[in-house]
Each structure stands twice: as structure tokens, then as C-alpha cells.
Chain A
Amino acid sequence: ETVLSQSPGTLSLSPGERATLSCRASQSIRSNYSVWYQQKPGQAPRLLIYGASRRATGIPDRFSGSGSGTDFTLTISRLEPEDFAVYYCQQYDSSIMYTFGQGTKLEIK
């Protein structure tokens, strides 16, 4: 079973700063299967990045994804006020199917 570990648990930054969120898998996963979601309080998750680096429809280009193997990264180049939320990574493997990381809370400093 692949376990996803996100770090940091909480990230405190100011608008305009750059955010770097990490997702580490306990075993190598296919890049096609690496996904990131954003969830704001009281809302459903929203797809941000799929296939490790592809932005979903309507996602601003300040969001980018990268990585391969066991290490994946979500970068927000310049934080906007609406970006403060919880971010989850997700992966797929054929045995356990879908797993989510525990989430990173991005809060305003």
C-alpha cells in the first residue's frame, strides 16, 4: 500500500510570496497518477493539477506541479488572498486504488 506524506502540515505565508508544497510517496508512482486538489472551508475539493504537471481547466498559471517517482511538488508562484486553503495530493495504484495525503494547510501569515 502506497502512503502519501505531505509537508509541511501548515505553511504560513503572505500574499505575493511563493508557496512550495511537498507530497512524498512511500513507493514510486506513475506521474500520470499524481494529482493535487484545493479545498476551501465549507467547499468541495477542486482539481488543480493532474498528471503531476498539467493544470486543470480554469486553473491560473501561478499554480504549477512537478516531480516524478516518489517526490511531487505543488508550487504557487505568487500567492493571492484566495489561495489560502488546504491542499491535498492524491495518487493511484492498482492495489489500493486511490490514496490522499493528509493535507497541507496554507494560511495567511
Chain B
Amino acid sequence: EVQLVQSGAEVKKPGESLKISCKGSGYSFTTYWIGWVRQMPGKGLEWMGIIYPGDSDTRYSPSFQGQVTISADKSINTAYLQWSSLRASDTAMYYCARHPKYNSGWRYYDSWGQGTLVTVSS
């Protein structure tokens, strides 16, 4: 069974750093992309970026470029999303999701993590 298990909820203060994780299992972690999606409270889905753990090729949405860093450690089947200095506006649910290789011709996210709630408040 394909599973993406995300790290637990976080409560942080503005200016603090944070790294959340997404661990894949039940499939070959290095042959699928992992994307990150933000959902602010009561709002819709926003695509943040995507990484290919096989070679760490990473793409960012222009809206999030420079605001977050996406990385992966293929030795432990884990992808990460990190902030160096959080803001209150980063308060949201963050989802990781699996994406097939681009040369498949498809563009979809077929398995999703359970989400990590990040709350930034002074």
C-alpha cells in the first residue's frame, strides 16, 4: 500500500525556522515526484513546488520561490519542506503528494499525506 506519512502539527513563533517531513512507503520513492500543497484556513489548494527524490531536481511555484526550501533524503524515503523565518501568514495545512514521472505524460497527484498543520503565532 502506498503511504505518505507527514510529521506532526507544529506551533511556532514568527521568525522561527521549521522543517516538516513526508515519508513515503509502499513504492519506489526515487521514481516518483513529491509535491507540496498549501491550504490556508478555510481556503483552497495552492501548489508550492515539487521534487524528484531520485536526483533532487526541484521546481518551485513563483509564488513560493525564495520563501521555502524543498529537499529530499532518498536514503530514508523522506521529503522535506522548510522555512528559515516563519510569518503569521504561513499558518496553514501543508500536504505532500506523489506525482508520476513527467515522461508518463500525466500530471496528477495520486496519493496524499495526511497533512501537517503549521500555526505561527506570537
Contacts and interface: CB of A to CB of B under 8 A. Distances in A.
Interface of A: 32-33, 35, 37, 39, 44-47, 50-51, 56-57, 88, 90-92, 96-103
A44, A45, A46, A102 — most chain B CB neighbours (10 Å): A44
Nearest to B110: A47
B50 interface: yes
Interface stretch (B8-16, B39-47, B73-81): B39-47
A17 B55 CA distance: 48
Contact of A100 (B46, B111, B114, B115): B46
B47 A98 contact: yes
Given A44-B115, A45-B112, A97-B61, A51 B47 contact: no
B108 A44 contact: no
Interface in B89-119: 95, 97, 105-115
B45 A44 contact: no
B113 A50 contact: no
Nearest to B95: A44
A50 B95 CA distance: 19
A32 B106 contact: yes
Chain B, interface residues (CB within 8 Å), range: 20 to 34
B44 A88 contact: yes
Interface string B27-47: 000000001010000001111
12 contacts: A35-B109, A44-B95, A45-B109, A45-B112, A56-B108, A90-B108, A97-B47, A97-B50, A99-B47, A100-B45, A101-B44, A103-B44
Contacts of B115: 44
Contacts of B111: 47
